[in-house]
Structure 1
Amino acid sequence: MTFTITRRLGITAVAALAVAALGGAGVGYAASSATTLQPAIKTITPRSEKDVTNIDVLRQQLRNYYGDALGTGQFGDDSNYAREARSAASDGAHYLAHAHPARHKTKAIILDVDDTTLATWNYEVFSNWAFNPTTNADYVLNQRFPAVPGMVSMVTSAEREGYAIFYLTGRPTSQEQATLGNLTADQIGVDAGYPKPTTLRDGEDGLFTKPDVTAYPDYLKQACAADPGGKCTTIHYKSATRAHIESLGYDIVGNFGDQFSDLKGGFADKTFKLPNPNYFLP
């Protein structure tokens, strides 16, 4: 049995795994229709400690999966993680090469950033799976993340085949330039080597970062009006953005993400899930 770890909710890895054993208490909460607080992650309640993987053992299992048994922060190119990631990228490439996009529309792909195009394994090891906005921002702004195995080749092939390339991330707008530099090439930190995002027909740059709620475009205001405080959930933010893109005359043939919340909500012909056992974004 394995557990995923909630991040961006201020929960450490230890807390997230421990509360999973207690039915999710304390993992960050969402209000139900009756305004009763509920855990963001729905999971089992173990009957015994034997039903739960020891946290330290689980951390070591993750290191082994990434081919980094000693926790250096560098995943192995022949690791099980790398093989799974390359397999997902290969499936995507094969599908895109044989897909039949909607007529009279421009074919496109859309990609999440963290652990879909850029691998954050080095930060997970550094932070001991405890997300901290300040230390994470240091990694983002200094562009420290390498490419996810197999994905640069897949995206480059898609661009050659005439696909528009769009990136859609939950990172804030303040991190847009650093994200673009890390994805492409600007001689700062890691240059992952992805194609630059395609400029949309309305002039948008094709790298969608999450704005502050006060700066939401109309399509996010409408899609997320019923969300708490009007702030988009991950699913609403990403699905509304995909709907916006398609409204401009694009057919999103492939949607790539490491979280199921990257992939839910429609507005893509097919979805592709990249491996990520490190955290969970509802």
Structure 2
Amino acid sequence: MSTSLRTLATGALLALSLAVAPSAATAADAPPADPAPEQIGQIEQFYESGAWARETTQVTDRATAFLRERIRRASDPRRLVAVFDIDDTALSTYDCMKAGAFTDGRRTACVVLDPHPPIAQTLRLFRFAQQRRVTVAFVTGRPEYVRTTTLAQLRKAGFRGRYELVLRPSEDHRSSVVPFKSSARKRLQRGGRRVVLNIGDQASDLAGGAAQRTFKLPNPMYTLP
């Protein structure tokens, strides 16, 4: 990691840690239990056997085929919107999570500490949409104050060109991202645009409507509300 990116990440991690401090959580919002040793082995086997890559390719191939057909029928592809999640949809945190035994605390750190590699299948879908003038937007549960770090990570991973980046307001402390993400997609549809594709690795990325078709990538490492 470069010195500048490390400096940004360190500051962002401090703020992110404060935002999710246990004193602010209720019993209902408590973090999920960390995986047992046998679960860790299953997670590693799923990723390192090639199963994760195969399933991810199947999902993004279906998404590409769907988007190609929507573009073919569109009078103006710029009015079509493709929405992407970031963590473990566009950027992979697997190596970082594995180094920390897939704990929930490690997930918080992994958001900003490492310049994560791209998920190649998602990057291809992203470029497919861009090259055909579809409006591309990232809608992420990352808080607004990690915008600079997030932009740097996306650029380093190859997600470049024109896109919109929608981060969760720093004052939004609701336990679920569903209200924020569904509201963000609705805002993206203003001015005659339509969200035709929404892709993420969590059910909560896709819940709440405001998208013609949803596509879920596999992620056995964690579940977010």
Report the TM-score when normalising by structure 2.
0.78
1:197, distance to aligned residue in structure 2 (A): 4.3
| Residue in structure 2 matched with residue 268 of structure 1 by the alignment | 211
Q: Which has the higher contact order (CA 8 A, sep 6+)?
A: 2
Deviations along 1:26-50, whole A, 9 cap, x unmatched? x9516xxxxxxxx898xxxxxxxxx
User: Does residue 79 of structure 1 match 2:50?
Assistant: yes
Q: Is the 8 A contact 1:105 1:249 kept in 2?
A: no
Q: Is the 8 A contact 2:78 2:134 kept in 1?
A: no
1:132, distance to aligned residue in structure 2 (A): 2.2
Q: Which runs of 4+ in 1 moved over 6 A?
A: 8-11, 102-105
Write the letter of the residue equivalent to 2:117. Answer: P
What is the CA RMSD across the aligned residues, in angstroms? 3.0
The runs of 5 or more residues in structure 1 that have no matched partner are 1-7, 12-26, 31-38, 42-53, 68-77, 185-190, 199-205, 217-228
The runs of 5 or more residues in structure 2 that have no matched partner are 1-18
Deviations along 1:143-186, whole A, 9 cap, x unmatched? 421111311111101111120110011111121111112112xx
Q: Is the 8 A contact 1:108 1:163 kept in 2?
A: yes
Q: Is the 8 A contact 1:159 1:195 kept in 2?
A: no
Residues 159 and 55 of structure 1: CA distance in aligned 2, closer, same or farther (over 3 Å): same
Deviations along 1:40-88, whole A, 9 cap, x unmatched? 98xxxxxxxxxxxx92222111111111xxxxxxxxxx71111111211
Residues 59 and 28 of structure 1: CA distance in aligned 2, closer, same or farther (over 3 Å): farther
| Residue in structure 1 matched with residue 81 of structure 2 by the alignment | 108
| Residue in structure 2 matched with residue 64 of structure 1 by the alignment | 45
1:195, distance to aligned residue in structure 2 (A): 3.3
Which secondary structure state, in structure 2, belongs to the residue aligned with residue 123 of structure 1?
A: helix
1:136, distance to aligned residue in structure 2 (A): 3.8
Residues 147 and 59 of structure 1: CA distance in aligned 2, closer, same or farther (over 3 Å): same
Q: Between the two proteins, what is the percent identity of the paired residues? A: 26
Question: Which is helix-richer, 1 or 2?
Answer: 2
1:151 to 116, 122, 125: 122
Q: Is the 8 A contact 2:59 2:217 kept in 1?
A: yes
| C-alpha distance in structure 1 between counterparts of 2:117 and 2:108, whole Å | 15
| Residue in structure 2 matched with residue 119 of structure 1 by the alignment | 92
Q: Is the 8 A contact 1:9 1:28 kept in 2?
A: no
1:240-255 maps to which residues of 2 (within 5 A)?
240-255=183-198
| C-alpha distance in structure 2 between counterparts of 1:10 and 1:86, whole Å | 36
| Residue in structure 2 matched with residue 29 of structure 1 by the alignment | 28
1:237 to 175, 180, 196: 180
Deviations along 1:179-205, whole A, 9 cap, x unmatched? 112112xxxxxx21123343xxxxxxx
1:129, distance to aligned residue in structure 2 (A): 1.5
| Residue in structure 2 matched with residue 18 of structure 1 by the alignment | none
Residues 150 and 103 of structure 1: CA distance in aligned 2, closer, same or farther (over 3 Å): closer
Write the letter of the residue equivalent to 1:237. Answer: F
| Residue in structure 2 matched with residue 207 of structure 1 by the alignment | 165
| Residue in structure 2 matched with residue 175 of structure 1 by the alignment | 146
Residues 260 and 241 of structure 1: CA distance in aligned 2, closer, same or farther (over 3 Å): same
Q: Is the 8 A contact 1:118 1:148 kept in 2?
A: yes
| C-alpha distance in structure 2 between counterparts of 1:274 and 1:239, whole Å | 18
Number of matched pairs: 201
Report the TM-score when normalising by structure 1.
0.63
Q: Is the 8 A contact 1:142 1:178 kept in 2?
A: no
User: Does residue 93 of structure 1 match 2:92?
Assistant: no
Residues 28 and 250 of structure 1: CA distance in aligned 2, closer, same or farther (over 3 Å): farther
Residues 102 and 131 of structure 1: CA distance in aligned 2, closer, same or farther (over 3 Å): farther
| C-alpha distance in structure 2 between counterparts of 1:255 and 1:29, whole Å | 28
Write the letter of the residue equivalent to 2:120. Answer: P
Bigger drift between 270-279 and 83-92 goes to: 83-92
| C-alpha distance in structure 2 between counterparts of 1:159 and 1:103, whole Å | 13
